[in-house]
Structure 1
Amino acid sequence: MARTREFDTGQAVAAAMEAFRRKGYEGTSMRDLTEATGVGSGSLYAAFGSKDGLYLAALDLYRQRYAVPLIDLLRTHGDARAVIREVFLSTVGDIAADGRRLACLIVAGAMERARDDKRVAERLKATTRALELALFDVLAEGQLRGRIPGDRGPADLAAFLVTSLQGLRVMGAIDPDRDALTRSAEVALTCLG
């Protein structure tokens, strides 16, 4: 008879996600994960198969917690410039509020794991692509309504804005100065005319 899982897998994934954000994938040992989650390594292996499986679950949770709210915000159908600006300022606020300077798992995963792990690369690509598509929709509608200049295609603008958002996260990991990050965000937003 199979044993009943005696821990909350959602809580374990959340704790593991924070451990990976603090130390990266390579820097996080199974011991770190058992300490962070309060779950024994055998139970973690039984639930997730491996450290890699737990990392993939952490990436999925990170997307739900950090990317999906931005995508949902973009789909609120407000003024294109205002909603995109709100996404940027919300991102800056998250970075500045994170005094622990935890890594963005999208950026960290891209630098540390995507080259060698196709599953990680696919998850990162899907997350950034979803954000890009949401931006594309807002930009295309803004151009149709004449609120965003049409001199650049919405796909190119969306790709640039995602790159800029991720750049803010990289710079915020170096120095989470809200004023400096806000100024950089405002420069990026000049692409909207």
Structure 2
Amino acid sequence: MARHREFDVDAAVVAAMDVFRLNGYEGTSMRDLADATGLGSGSLYAAFGNKEGIYMAALDLYRARYAAPLADMLRAGHDAREVIREVFVSVVDDIVTDGQRKACLIVAAAMERAHLDKRVAERLRSTTQALELALFDTLAEGQLRGHIPADRDARDLAAFLVTSMQGLRVMGAINPDRATLMRSAEVALRCLI
């Protein structure tokens, strides 16, 4: 008779995600993951297969916790400029309130793993495309309502805004000063005027 897992897989993924955000993929060992999750390596291997399996689960969780809520915020807003600004403020606030200065897992994975692992690259592409699509929908609706200039390509604007958000995360890892990050965000937001 097979044994049932006696641990919370979701809690293990949360702990693993935090370790990967602090140390990166290469800088994280199975021992680090075992220590962070409180699980033996055998339990980790049984649940996830290997370090890469845990990493993929962490990427999925990161998308659900950080990227999907931004897309939801965009879809819930009525004034395109206002809701996009709220999303940028949310990104900046997330950076500034992170006392450990943990990396954005999407940015870190893009730099460290995307060129080595097609599955990682596809997950990152899917995540950024979902955010771009939500921005595109918001921008296109804003153009119909007259909130965003109609002479701008909504797809190009959406791609630029995602690039700007990710740039804020990179610069926030270097200097998490709210005023500095908000000045950069405001420059990016001027494309909507």
Q: TM-score range by the shorter chain?
A: over 0.9
CA distance in 1 between counterparts of 2:155 and 2:92 reads 23
Q: Which residue of 1 aligns with 2:171?
A: 171
State how far apart, in whole Å, the 2-side matches of 1:3 and 1:21 are. 32
Q: Distance in 2 between matches of 1:141 and 1:19?
A: 39
CA distance in 2, matches of 1:74, 1:68: 10
Confirm whether residue 129 of structure 1 aligns to residue 129 of structure 2. yes
Structure 2 letter corresponding to 1:148 = I
Give, as a single letter, the amino acid of the residue that structure 2 aligns with 1:100: Q
Q: SS of the counterpart of 1:25?
A: coil
- Distance in 1 between residues matched to 2:92 and 2:37, nearest whole Å: 29
Distance in 2, matches of 1:122 and 1:102, equals 23
Equivalent residue, structure 2, for 1:152: 152
The alignment of Structure 1 onto Structure 2 pairs a total of residues equal to 193
* Distance in 2 (alpha carbons) for counterparts of 1:28 and 1:7: 21
Matched with 2:161 is: 161
Offset of 1:77 from its aligned partner?
A: 3.2
SS in 2 for 1:103: coil
1:50 paired to 2:50: yes
Comparing 1-10 and 55-64, the one that deviates more: 1-10
Q: How does 1:89-128 map to 2 (within 5 A)?
A: 89-128=89-128
**TM-score w.r.t. length of structure 1:** 0.99
Which residues of structure 2 form unaligned runs of 5+?
none
Task: Tell me the percent identity.
Answer: 74
SS at match of 1:81: helix
Counterpart of 1:73 in 2: which secondary structure? helix
1:24 deviation in Å? 0.3
TM-score for the superposition, normalised by structure 2: 0.99
Paired residue type of 1:35: D
Q: Deviations over 1:81-115 (max 9, x none)?
A: 00000000000000000121100000000000000
- In the other structure, the counterpart of 2:88 is 88
Unpaired runs of 5+ residues, structure 1, are none
Q: Provide the residue aligned with 2:38 in structure 1.
A: 38
> Residues 70-81 of structure 1: matches in 2 within 5 Å?
70-81=70-81
Query: Take 1:147 and 1:12, find their aligned partners in 2: how far apart are those partners?
Result: 44
State the partner residue of 2:8. Answer: 8
Equivalent-residue separation in structure 2 for 1:34 and 1:23 (angstroms): 14
Q: What SS is found at the alignment partner of 2:100?
A: coil
